[in-house]
Amino acid sequence: MNAIDLGVEFGAKTYVFWGGREGTESDATKDPITSIKRNREAMNFLCEYALDKKYDLKFALEAKPNEPRGDIYNSTTGHMLAFIATLYHPEMVGVNPEVAHEHMAGLNFTHGVAQAIDAGKLFHIDLNDQAFGRYDQDFRFGAVNLKSAFFLVKLLEDNKYDNSRHFDAHAYRTEDYEGVKDFARGCMRTYLILKNKAAQWNADQEIQSIVAEINASDGLMDQYFGKYSTAKANALKGQAFDRSAIASRGLKYERLDQLTNEVLLGVR
Ligand SMILES: [Mn+2]
């Protein structure tokens, strides 16, 4: 509560919770359901505190699978989204997904962020980079996996994300003062380069014609879309599918992915 007060005093509109302690080394030590209930009670209490103080403040929950605890509760952005729906004031609570934290767990970060955007819960984001299965490396944005960084930037820009683009990262420990500035400049420059590359990808005629072909519909399945009905379900169960005809159509995913690489490598 003291930290919330201080943040508001400095003009903060979003308060990030990273529950780094909120986990366990051994499940012999505490009951996980009780722990989730305690966590919920704490978040409800703090929401009420902010409302009571009439703060113009939203909360953003940051998931992480482990470190410093052996296992941290609500370990991914998806867990956090499910948890938020159970709070008294879900409208004032969203997520702060961090690239490194989802990559530590081997997850597709872009998919986690997409789920947060779809839920209207992307209140903040922590950009950095990280190899799978390592300690929390917090590398410069794009330092490890440029392609996943590209699809993340493309997702944010295509969906007109308008909250802070925040870099939660640090320079290599080898750096002097100028090296730290290289690191900070690199984070921002890579984001902006990938933003340009996303615009190039969206404007590339060959790429867009493959995307259109992949997503083209012959209209045959239209009758099954939308709301459920018994008649629709019965008709769908009776629908015949020509497996050989469907499988004979090449989808050009290889070509599309290679063209993406060529955009990123600067040869297109
Ligand atoms: Mn973070």
| pLDDT tens track for 213-235 | 999 988 989 999 999 999 999 99
Q: Which CATH architecture has domain 2-203?
A: Alpha-Beta Barrel (3.20)
Q: List phi, psi (to 5°) of 172.
A: -55, 150
Confidence band, pLDDT 50/70/90 cuts, at residue 237: very high
| pTM exceeding 0.85 | yes
CA triplet 211, 215, 221: central angle to 5 degrees?
175
Q: From ligand 1's centre to the CA of 52, what distance in Å?
A: 27
Q: From ligand 1's centre to the CA of 126, what distance in Å?
A: 5
Radius of gyration of the chain from its Cα atoms, rounded to whole angstroms:
22
Question: In this structure, are strands 58-62 and 14-18 parallel, antiparallel, or unpaired?
Answer: parallel
Per domain, the residue ranges of the chain are 2-203, 206-264
Q: From ligand 1's centre to the CA of 95, what distance in Å?
A: 11
Structure-block tokens of residue 265: 């490598």
Helices (H) and strands (E) in the chain, counts: 11, 7
Q: Taking residues 66-84, what's their average pLDDT?
A: 97
Q: How far apart are CA 57 and CA 249, in angstroms?
A: 52
Contact 13, 57 (CB under 8 A): yes
Q: From ligand 1's centre to the CA of 204, what distance in Å?
A: 34
User: What was the pLDDT predicted at 228?
Assistant: 97
